Structure 1
Amino acid sequence: MNEYNFPENFLDSLNEEPGFDRENFVAAHENIISPTSIRINPFKESILKTNEQVPWCAEGYYLDSRPSFTFDPLFHSGCYYVQEASSMFIDHILKYTRTNKDEPIKVLDLCAAPGGKSTLINSAITSTDLLVSNEIIKTRVPVLCDNLNRWGTANTIVSNNDPRDFSRITGFFDTILVDAPCSGSGMFRKDAAAMNEWSEANVNLCRQRQERILADVYPALKEDGHLIYSTCSYSYQENEEIVDWLCREFNMESVRIPIYKEWGIVETVSPEHKAWGYRFYPGKVKGEGLFAACLKKKQETDELPVFKTKGHQKLALQEIELIKQYIKEPDAYYYNKVNDDWLAIGRAHKESLDTLQRHLYIKKSGVRIGKLMGNDLIPDHELALSLYINKDKVLQTELNINQAIQFLRRDNIEINTTDKGWSLMNFEGHALGWAKLLPNRINNYFPKELRILANAPSSSL
Structure 2
Amino acid sequence: MNNYPFPENFLASLSAENGFDEQNFVNAHQNSDAPTTIRLNPFKPSAIKTDEQVPWCADGFYLNTRPSFTFDPLFHAGCYYVQEASSMFIDHIVKHIRQNNTEPVKVLDLCAAPGGKSTLLNSAIGPDDLLVANEIIKTRVPILTDNLSRWGQSNVIVSSNDPKDFSRLKSFFDIILVDAPCSGSGMFRKDPQAMNEWSEANVELCHQRQERILADVLPALNEDGYLIYSTCSYSHQENEDIVDLLCREFDLESIRIPIYKEWGIVETQSAQQKAWGYRFYPGQVKGEGLFAACLQKKNNTGQMGNFKNNMQQKISSREIDQVKTYINNADSFYYFKVSDDWLAINRVHKESLNILQYHLYLKKSGVRVGQLMGKDLIPDHELALSTIINKEAVLQTELNYDQAIQYLRRDNIDLNPTEKGWSLMNFEGHALGWAKLLPNRINNYYPKEIRILAPQPPKRGAV
Bigger CA drift: 97-106 or 74-83? 97-106
Q: Quote the Cα distance in structure 2 between the aligned partners of 1:375 and 1:18.
A: 66
What is the CA distance between 1:225 and its match in structure 2? Answer: 0.3
Q: 1:199 and 2:189 equivalent?
A: no
Q: 1:314 and 2:318 equivalent?
A: no
Matched residue type, 1:84: E
Matched residue type, 2:256: R
What is the CA distance between 1:90 and its match in structure 2? Answer: 0.1
Matches within 5 A, 1:38-57: 38-57=38-57
Q: Quote the Cα distance in structure 2 between the aligned partners of 1:99 and 1:421.
A: 46
Matched residue type, 1:178: V
Q: Quote the Cα distance in structure 2 between the aligned partners of 1:176 and 1:159.
A: 14
Tell me if the contact between 2:171 and 2:220 (Cα under 8 Å) persists in the aligned partners.
yes
Matched residue type, 2:71: F
Q: 1:173 and 2:150 equivalent?
A: no
Partner of 1:304: 304
Partner of 1:410: 410
Tell me if the contact between 2:401 and 2:460 (Cα under 8 Å) persists in the aligned partners.
no
Partner of 2:147: 147
SS of 2:358's partner is helix
Q: Which runs of 4+ in 1 moved over 4 A?
A: none
Matched residue type, 2:374: G
Q: Quote the Cα distance in structure 1 between the aligned partners of 2:235 and 2:173.
A: 29
Partner of 1:239: 239
Structure 1: gaps spanning 5 or more residues: none
Q: Quote the Cα distance in structure 2 between the aligned partners of 1:347 and 1:384.
A: 20
What is the CA distance between 1:311 and its match in structure 2? Answer: 4.3
Query: Percent identity of the aligned residues?
Result: 74
What is the CA distance between 1:415 and its match in structure 2? Answer: 1.1
1:69-106 deviations in Å (ceiling 9; x for gaps): 00000000000000000000000000000144431000
Q: Quote the Cα distance in structure 2 between the aligned partners of 1:213 and 1:100.
A: 30
Matches within 5 A, 1:247-326: 247-326=247-326
Matched residue type, 1:353: L
SS of 1:392's partner is helix
SS of 1:349's partner is helix
Partner of 1:87: 87
1:100-141 deviations in Å (ceiling 9; x for gaps): 443100000000000000000000000000000000101100
Tell me if the contact between 2:335 and 2:344 (Cα under 8 Å) persists in the aligned partners.
yes
Matched residue type, 2:385: L
Partner of 1:377: 377
Partner of 2:21: 21
1:329-365 deviations in Å (ceiling 9; x for gaps): 1110001100110000000000000111111111110
Q: Quote the Cα distance in structure 2 between the aligned partners of 1:33 and 1:414.
A: 40
Q: Quote the Cα distance in structure 1 between the aligned partners of 2:458 and 2:200.
A: 41
SS of 2:392's partner is coil
What is the CA distance between 1:397 and its match in structure 2? Answer: 0.2
Q: Quote the Cα distance in structure 1 between the aligned partners of 2:384 and 2:418.
A: 21
1:176-196 deviations in Å (ceiling 9; x for gaps): 000000000000000011111
1:7-62 deviations in Å (ceiling 9; x for gaps): 11111111111111110000000011110000000000101110000000000000
Q: 1:442 and 2:451 equivalent?
A: no
What is the CA distance between 1:251 and its match in structure 2? Answer: 1.5
Matches within 5 A, 1:357-372: 357-372=357-372
Q: Quote the Cα distance in structure 2 between the aligned partners of 1:112 and 1:300.
A: 26
Matched residue type, 2:458: P
Partner of 2:107: 107
Bigger CA drift: 304-313 or 387-396? 304-313
SS of 1:5's partner is coil
What is the CA distance between 1:446 and its match in structure 2? Answer: 0.2
Matched residue type, 1:313: Q
1:140-172 deviations in Å (ceiling 9; x for gaps): 000000000000000000000000000001000
Aligned residues: 461
Q: Quote the Cα distance in structure 2 between the aligned partners of 1:191 and 1:405.
A: 29
Q: Quote the Cα distance in structure 1 between the aligned partners of 2:458 and 2:17.
A: 42
Q: Quote the Cα distance in structure 1 between the aligned partners of 2:451 and 2:61.
A: 27
Q: 1:353 and 2:329 equivalent?
A: no
Partner of 1:456: 457
Normalised TM-score (structure 2): 0.98
Matched residue type, 2:382: E
Tell me if the contact between 2:76 and 2:432 (Cα under 8 Å) persists in the aligned partners.
yes
Partner of 1:331: 331
Q: Quote the Cα distance in structure 2 between the aligned partners of 1:216 and 1:378.
A: 41
Q: Quote the Cα distance in structure 2 between the aligned partners of 1:268 and 1:292.
A: 10
Q: Quote the Cα distance in structure 2 between the aligned partners of 1:401 and 1:101.
A: 43
SS of 1:158's partner is strand
- Alignment CA distance shift 1:18-1:459 (3 Å): farther
Structure 2: gaps spanning 5 or more residues: none
What is the CA distance between 1:425 and its match in structure 2? Answer: 0.2
What is the CA distance between 1:457 and its match in structure 2? Answer: 2.7
Q: Quote the Cα distance in structure 2 between the aligned partners of 1:414 and 1:117.
A: 38
SS of 2:315's partner is coil
- Alignment CA distance shift 1:60-1:311 (3 Å): closer
Q: Quote the Cα distance in structure 2 between the aligned partners of 1:310 and 1:441.
A: 46
1:286-339 deviations in Å (ceiling 9; x for gaps): 000000000000012312223133342111111111100000111100011001
Q: Quote the Cα distance in structure 2 between the aligned partners of 1:337 and 1:18.
A: 54
Matches within 5 A, 1:52-131: 52-131=52-131
Matched residue type, 2:156: T
SS of 2:393's partner is coil
Q: Quote the Cα distance in structure 1 between the aligned partners of 2:409 and 2:263.
A: 41
Tell me if the contact between 2:72 and 2:460 (Cα under 8 Å) persists in the aligned partners.
no
The two structures, once aligned, show a CA RMSD in angstroms of 1.0
What is the CA distance between 1:3 and its match in structure 2? Answer: 2.8
Partner of 1:397: 397
Matched residue type, 2:142: P
SS of 1:416's partner is coil
Matched residue type, 1:261: K
